[in-house]
């Protein structure tokens, strides 16, 4: 589409041929281990993923039974930050809890 400015100069507007794609999303997963207490995992899920106690408990049980459980889906930067926060908290508390992200 072409338009004219104040000096009658033709200005070409490039039509949006490429549709904007939403950013890729990443799921944040907790991995099971034999050492981290279940209550600690529930508290982590509540604190960093804003889940209520019942939902956090269900996620923790999925981690325990299936070896991993998804805590949420976020854009890359947010997912990465959540992984780092969880790992830092777990290490400071002396637990080997693992948290990873993978493309959804």
Task: Tell me the per-residue pLDDT of 36-74, one tens digit each, with 9 for 90 and over.
Answer: 999 999 999 999 999 999 999 999 999 999 999 999 999
pLDDT on residue 29 = 98
Task: Please give the DSSP secondary-structure letter assigned to residue 71.
Answer: E
Tokens, residue 54 = 């019942």
Q: Which pTM does this prediction carry?
A: 0.81
- What is the distance between the alpha carbons of residues 99 and 41, in angstroms, rounded to a whole number? 11
Hey, is 34 helix, strand or coil? coil
pLDDT on residue 20 = 87
pLDDT on residue 16 = 54
Hey, is 58 helix, strand or coil? helix
Is 24 a residue whose pLDDT tops 60? Answer: yes
Q: Which long-range contacts (CB under 8 A, 24 or more apart) does 47-51 make?
A: 47/89, 48/82, 48/85, 48/86, 48/89, 49/82
User: Domain 34-104: which CATH class?
Assistant: alpha beta
- What is the distance between the alpha carbons of residues 11 and 3, in angstroms, rounded to a whole number? 5
Residue range 18-47: mean pLDDT, rounded: 95
Pick the more confident residue, 23 or 57.
57
């Amino acid at each position: 589409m072409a338009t004219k400015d104040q000096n009658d100069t033709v200005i070409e507007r490039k039509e949006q041929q490429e549709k904007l794609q939403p950013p890729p999303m990443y799921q944040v997963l907790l991995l099971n281990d034999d050492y981290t207490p279940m209550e600690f995992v529930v508290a982590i899920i509540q604190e960093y993923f804003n889940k209520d106690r019942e939902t956090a408990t269900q996620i923790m049980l999925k981690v325990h039974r299936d070896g991993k459980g998804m805590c949420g889906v976020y854009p890359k930067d947010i997912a990465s930050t959540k992984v780092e926060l969880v790992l830092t908290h777990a290490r400071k508390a002396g637990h080997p809890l693992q948290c990873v992200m993978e493309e959804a």
